[in-house]
Amino acid sequence: EPKKRAIVNHRLAFNMASYYPSIGAYAVSPIFFDYPRTPAGLKKVNYVLSSFDKILEKQNSKFSAGDNLTIADFALVAATLSLEAIDFSFSDYKHVTKWYNTFKQECPELWSVAEEGMNVLRNFNINIPRFPHLDHPLNPVRK
């Protein structure tokens, strides 16, 4: 079914090219590197959430690429849970919220695995790790 595969590939490409990079830079990078959360970063997060919300509205299905769970949902959930880990409210994006809650409710075993990672990230966000002996070649490290 080429059309279904194309939709899954689109969602994966959207996650790789826009969704996760924006969310990761805003939610995850400030935890591990000496980067602040900025208004510009927040604007990018809201932009990709708005884009994803429109995709889901147009798709009008249970999951991101149709009525069945696909690998695209795993990637998109991993990015979205990074926002939940920092207590970011994405409730303004009703289709994203519905999709995310559907994943949690309909895939409890998968969610329990994802939730463990989210809780680790949440703990790191509260108790920012320090890396005094690490010299990262590209990113400034919090000493």
pLDDT tens sequence across 90-136: 999 999 999 999 999 999 999 999 999 999 999 999 998 877 777 77
* Helix/strand/coil for 141: coil
What is the share, in percent, of the chain residues with pLDDT greater than 90?
A: 85
For 64-78, how does the pLDDT look when each residue is reduced to its tens digit (9 = 90+)? 999 999 999 999 999
* Domain parsing of the chain, residue ranges: 2-126
- At residue 143 the predicted structure's pLDDT band, cuts being 50, 70 and 90, is low
d(CA 35, CA 30): 5
From the list 88, 86, 68, 64, the residue with the least C-alpha distance to 76 is 64
pLDDT at 78: 97
Q: Which of 20-24, 29-33, 64-68, 77-81 has the least mean pLDDT?
A: 29-33
Tell me the CATH architecture of domain 2-126. Up-down Bundle (1.20)
Q: Is 33 exposed, middle or buried (0-12, 13-18, 19+ CB in 10 A)?
A: middle
Contact call for residues 18 and 51 (beta carbons, < 8 A): yes
pLDDT higher than threshold 90 for residue 11: yes
